[in-house]
Amino acid sequence: MLHRYMTQPMPHQAGTTLPEIVIVLGLVALMMVIAAPALTSARRAAALGRATSHIHALLSSGHARAILRCQTEALVFERDAGKWRCFLAEDGDGDGVRHSDIRRGRDRIVGEIFELDAGGAGLGILQHIRIPDPSGRGWLNGDLDDPVRAGRGDIITFTNTGTATPSSVYFTNGVDRMKVLRVYGPTGKIRELEWRRGWSTWSAPR
């Protein structure tokens, strides 16, 4: 007996058309454009936080070492071609930490040398905008290209009695936000403050 087998039509196999691919690629590109500013802002915020935290740790270490070792210690900042670096150094000849003594080997560098890139987020002061002075009196002035305010130099000294060079070290994300580490002379205490565009005063980080 002959059996007839009815062939069933093959189901329609859906495919991706060129217009659909173009639409998907367009949506991906749009999402990347929308997300780019947020990613850039997040990277700047992270860089600002890292730089501030690292310098804060170095300042705290210098303060503690000076008291524990009963000798003068200092956080030294140096600038060359717009780039900054800093490091801890200890007084080796009893006349305080000096750049000249470091070059001659009389004052010894302690630990690593921390490099801070020029531009972008990190050490610096926002310009072309009025910024309140962290002291609460007037506006921040002086040399806005110099973010390290430590008397007449760029060396923050800590003594074995706990005192320090009254100092302010400024940081910025390069757009609309700043931080400052303030070192108080009589106690060597370090305080971190934050300022954002539109704020009338500095405040403790939130």
Q: So what's the pLDDT on residue 171?
A: 95
Global pTM? 0.80
In the chain, pLDDT over 70 holds for what percent of residues?
Answer: 85
Has residue 14 got a pLDDT over 50? yes
Residue 95 banded pLDDT, cuts 50, 70, 90:
very high
Smallest Cα–Cα separation from 110: which of 143, 141, 86?
A: 86
Computed over every residue of the chain, the mean pLDDT equals 86
- Which residue type sits at 120? G
Residue 123 CA to residue 168 CA, distance in Å, equals: 11
Give the mean pLDDT of 39-67: 89
DSSP assignments along 157-199, one per residue: EE-TTS-B--EEEEEE-SSSEEEEEEE-TTT--EEEEEEETT-
* Tens digits of residue pLDDT in 116-174: 865 567 899 998 899 999 999 999 998 999 999 998 889 999 999 999 999 999 999 98
d(CA 113, CA 165): 21
The answer to whether residue 1 scores a pLDDT higher than 50 is no
On whether the CB atoms of residues 167 and 183 are closer than 8 A, the answer is: yes
Do residues 89 and 76 make contact, with C-beta atoms less than 8 angstroms apart?
yes
pLDDT, tens only, 18-50: 777 777 777 777 776 665 555 667 788 888 988
pLDDT, greater one: 38 or 184 = 184
Mean pLDDT, residues 104-124: 85
pLDDT at residue 96 is higher than 90: yes
Q: How far apart are CA 114 and CA 54, in angstroms?
A: 9
Indicate the range of 5-19, 92-106, 187-201 predicted with least confidence.
Answer: 5-19
The reported pLDDT for the residue numbered 5 is 46
The SS3 of residue 34 is: helix
Q: What are the DSSP E strand ranges found in the chain?
A: 73-80, 83-90, 108-116, 122-123, 148-149, 155-158, 167-172, 177-183, 190-196
